[in-house]
Structure 1
Amino acid sequence: MNFAPLSRFIDHIAAWRIPWAEVVVMHRNETVFRYRAGYADLEANTPIDEDKIIYLYSLTKIMTCTAALQLVEKGEILLGDPLSDYLPEFAETAVRKQQKDDGSRTGLPERPITVRDLFTMTAGFSYDLDSPSIREAAERTEGRLPTREFARALAKEPLLFEPGTRWNYSLCHDVLAALVEVVDGRRFSTYVREEITEPLGMPDTGFFLSEAQHSRLVPQYEFNDELGKAVRMDGDWYRIGTEFESGGAGLLSTVRDYALFLNTLTNRGTSPEGVRILSAASVDLMRTDHLNGHTRGDYNWAHHAGYGYGLGVRTHISKADSGSLSPLGEFGWSGAAGSYAIMDPESQLTVMYAQHLVNNQEPYVHPRLRNMVYSCLS
C-alpha cells in the first residue's frame, strides 16, 4: 500500500479552498492510513488535530436508518406498513394534485406513506425547515420543538407528490427518527446512545455536547469567492429547536468515533470486538438499490452517476456509469459540510473523510478521494 498520492491530494485541497481535511482508511479492521492537513481555526492558525468534534449533518442519516432497521429486525415495524399506523397524523396528510389549467389543489394521496418511503426518500416531503407549520410548532413549544412535535407539524404540510412515485431528498429521515421514538418509547437520542454509540465505544457522538466537548467543536467555514478565502460561519442551521433531534442532520462526532460505526457496517453489522448492531441481512438490504422506474430519474446528481439509492445510502450499481474504482455494492453517504463515508464489505474497506466547509466542493473532492483510496490499496 502506498498512500503518498492520497496525502498529496489532502495537502492540495487544504491549500486550495478547504480550511482543513482529514481522512481515515481502515482495511480488514486495521487503520492503515490517517492523514490531516490544514487549520481548524484559520484566524488563530490552529492546526487540525486529534479528537476535534464536527457537525456530521447528513452523515447522521446512516445512523438513523441503522436505528430504524433495528426495529425492523425486532419485528416492531415492517417496511410496507403505513406510516399512520404509528404516527396517526399522517393519515390526514394531503398531497398536491395538478389540474388541467396548470393550477394545483390538494387531496388525500392515492396510497398512504409507508415506512419504506421514509427510508428511500419517496414520501413526498420537501426539505423546507421554514414551512409555516414548522415555524408555528417552534413558537408554540417556545423554541423546544421536540422531534415528535416536528413530525406532527410536518404532517400538516401538503406532500409534493404521490408517495412512492418520485425520489426527493427531503425530511424523510427526520420523520424516521420520530417513528423510532414512538415505537420504542425512548427519546431518539437516548435510543441511539443506548443501542448503538455506547455499545460501540463512541463517547463523542451525539445530538448535544457537554461543556468539555463544546471546547473541541471546530469552527465552520464558507468559502467566499469575492474575498478569495474561507470565512467563518459557525452555527447549525438544522438545529431548529433546542429539543429537536434531527435524524437527518443532527449528530456531532469525531473522525475516530464515526469511523468505528462505519466500520461496523462494513463488517455487515458486527464490530471487530463482536458488538452486533445489525444483522448481515439488514446491512445487505440497506445497500440494495431500492430505486425503480418511477424514481430512478430523480436520483440524478452527477457525482452519484452509477449509484442507486438504498435505505438511506448511495450504493454502487454500475462501474461503467460511475467510473469508480470501487466494487459494486460499495455504499455510504456524505454531509453538508463535506464529510464523506465509504463502506465496502467486499474489500473490507472503510473510509471516513472529514472537513468543515459548507460550500463543500463535494462533486470535486469525493469521487477523486474514492478512486485514490482504491488505487493506493492496490
Structure 2
Amino acid sequence: MTIEDVAGKAFSKERFDGLLADAVRGPAGVPGVVAMITDRDGNVYEGSAGERAAGFGDPMSTDSVFALFSTTKAITGTAVLQCVEEGLLDLDAPAATYVPEIGELKVLDGFGNQGEPILREPKREITTRMLMLHTAGFGYDFFNESYNRLSQEHGQPSVITCTKAALTTPLLFDPGEKWEYGTNMDWAGQVVESIRGQRLGDVMRERIFEPLEMTDTAFSMTPSMKDRLATIHQREADGTLTPLVGFELPAEPEVHMGGHGLHGTVGDYMKFIRMWLNDGAGSQGRVLSQETVAAATKNGLEGQHVGLLPGVIPTLSNDAEFFPGVPKGWAYSFMTNEEVAPTGRPAGSLAWAGLANLFYWIDRQSGVGGFWATQILPFADAGSVGGYLDFESAVYR
C-alpha cells in the first residue's frame, strides 16, 4: 500500500513542507525539525525546516544527526529478538542467568525517618520478557519521584552519564507487578552483550545496521556525524529556546545504553521502520523472521496498560500521555494503541518517542510509518508534539 492509498488523495510534498514550516514559526515554534514518511518500498516524503541550533544560522537538513534517546529502545529490542530466534535467549528465564548483577537488586520499600532507602528482596526474579515489556520494576528519575529522591539525596547517577552505576538502582516494585517506563532496555542491552560477547553497538552494526544499510547510526559518532549534529535546546518557562551547546551524551560511553544511547539520522531510522513494515526483511538481508515480527508486534501486557508519564523534573519532561482515553499496551519493544488513534493511526500500530521530542509510528496494517525529530527539552513540548500530531494526521486525512 502506498501513501496515496492511506491518504486517499494525491501525495503533496508542498503540503507536508508547509507543516514543517508552520512548526518552526511563532512563539511555540521549534528551532528545527526533520520529518520523513515511508511506505514499504521507500521514503515518500523527506523534509526539514529551521536551524540545527537556534540563532547560529546552520540550516537543519535531512542528513542532520540527532541524539535518538528512547527511539533507541526498539533497535535494542530487535537485537534481543535475534538472540531468541537463534535459541540463545529464553525470555522467561531469569535475566540474572545472563547478567548476574541484575539478580542482586533489591526492591525499594520507601524511605526511613532519616531519609535512608528501605530495601527488601524481590518476590520473584526479573526475566528478559519483563525487561522488554517494562514490567521489571525499573523507572527513570524524571518520571518517578522515588528515583528522583535517590538522585537528589543519595547521589544516584543520571542515566545520561551512560555508566553502569546509573543502572544499578533498586526496583520500584516486585518484578512483573505493573508497567513502569524505565531503564529496562538498558539492562536488555546488557543481556545481549553477555550472550554475544560483544559491545551492543558492534552487535547492532553487524546484525541490524549493515543489513539495513544504516551507515549514520552509532553509540559513538564519527567525525562526519559530529559535524551534522543538531543541538539540544531548553524550552524556558516563557517559551523561549536556549541552545544547550555542549550538552551531549558521552562521546565514548562506558555503557552502550540500549534504552537511549544512539545517535543517528532520520533517514537511517526510516530503514529500520521499513524493516518492520516488511515483516523483518531489509535491503541487504533479513533482520528478523516473519514469525518473530508477528509475535513481537502484539501487545504483551496482560491486565496492565500504558498510562501517564508524570513529569517529575520539569526541565526534562512535562506530564506526558499519548492519546489520553485511548487504551495503550506494550509490545517488544513499542507502545501499541489498542483503538484507532485521533490521528487516524489504526489500532494495533506501533510507536514511541525520545526525550528530546522525537516521535515515530509504524502502521503495519496500512504499510506506512513516519518519524518526526526535534531536539528540545523538556519532553512533551507543546510546539513539537503539536507539529508531530498534525504531521501524522495529514497522512491519514
Query: TM-score normalised to the size of structure 1?
Result: 0.86
Match of 1:374 in 2: 396
Name 1:352's counterpart in structure 2. Answer: 371
* 2: CA distance, partners of 1:238 / 1:298: 28
Partner of 1:86: 98
Amino acid at match of 2:344: L
Distance in 1 of aligned mates of 2:385 and 2:55: 27
Q: Using the alignment, how far apart are the partners of 1:126 and 1:186 within structure 2?
A: 26
Residue 68 to residue 43, structure 1, CA distance change in 2 (3 Å): same
Change (3 A) 1:275 1:247: same
Q: Which residue of 1 aligns with 2:122?
A: 109
- Residue 20 of structure 2 corresponds to residue 10 of structure 1: yes
Letter of the 1:182 counterpart: S
Instruction: Output the CA distance in 2 between the equivalents of 1:297 and 1:49.
Output: 34
**Which among 263, 273, 277 is matched to residue 252 of structure 1?**
263
Per-residue deviation, 1:324: 3.6
Q: Which amino acid aligns with 1:115?
A: T
Check whether the contact 2:108–2:117 (CA below 8 A) recurs between aligned residues.
yes
Q: Name the Cα RMSD after superposition.
A: 2.9
The alignment status of 1:224 with 2:236, answered yes or no, reads yes
Stretches of structure 1 that go unaligned for 5 or more consecutive residues are: none
Identity among equivalent pairs (%)? 27
- Against the structure 1 CA distance between its residues 21 and 159, is the aligned structure 2 distance closer, same or farther, given a 3 Å change threshold? same
Match of 2:294 in 1: 284
**Pairing partner for 2:193 from 141, 156, 181:** 181
Q: Distance in 2 between matches of 1:18 and 1:37?
A: 9
Q: Is the 8 A contact 1:287 1:314 kept in 2?
A: no
1:239–1:246 CA contact under 8 A, matched in 2:
no
Distance in 2 of aligned mates of 1:170 and 1:283: 23
Q: 1:240 to 1:290 in 2, by over 3 A?
A: farther
Greater shift after overlay, 230-239 or 71-80?
230-239
Q: What's the offset of the Cα at 1:255?
A: 1.4
Confirm or deny: 8 A CA contact 2:211 2:284 kept in the other structure. no
Which AA in structure 1 matches 2:122?
Answer: P
SS in 2 for 1:109: coil
Of 97, 108, 117, which aligns to 1:96?
A: 108
Which of 45, 49, 63 is equivalent to 2:61? 49
Offset of residue 190 of structure 1? 0.7
Unaligned runs of 5+ in 2: 1-9, 142-146, 310-319
CA drift of 1:182 comes to 0.4
- Residue 170 of structure 1 and its aligned partner are, at CA, apart by 0.6
Change in CA separation of 1:159 and 1:237 when aligned onto 2, cut-off 3 Å: farther
Q: Which amino acid aligns with 1:352?
A: F
Measure the CA separation in 1 of the matches of 2:343 and 2:302: 22
Q: 1:54–1:218: 8 Å Cα contact kept in structure 2? A: yes
Partners of 1:97 and 1:144 in 2: how far apart?
A: 26
Match of 2:280 among 269, 272, 287: 269
Deviation (angstroms), 1:285:
2.4
Q: Is the 8 A contact 2:335 2:350 kept in 1?
A: yes
SS of structure 2 residue aligned to 1:289 = coil
Instruction: Indicate how the Cα distance of structure 1 residues 235 and 244 shifts in structure 2: closer, same or farther if over 3 A, else same.
Output: farther
Structure 2: distance between partners of 1:173 and 1:112: 16
CA distance in 2, matches of 1:357, 1:280: 36
User: 1:64-83, aligned counterparts within 5 Å?
Assistant: 64-83=76-95
CA deviation digits over 1:147-166, x for unaligned, max 9? Answer: xx45xx744x3211011111
Give the Cα separation in 2 of the matches to 1:233 and 1:104.
33
The answer as to whether partners of 2:110 and 2:118 remain within 8 angstroms in 1 is yes
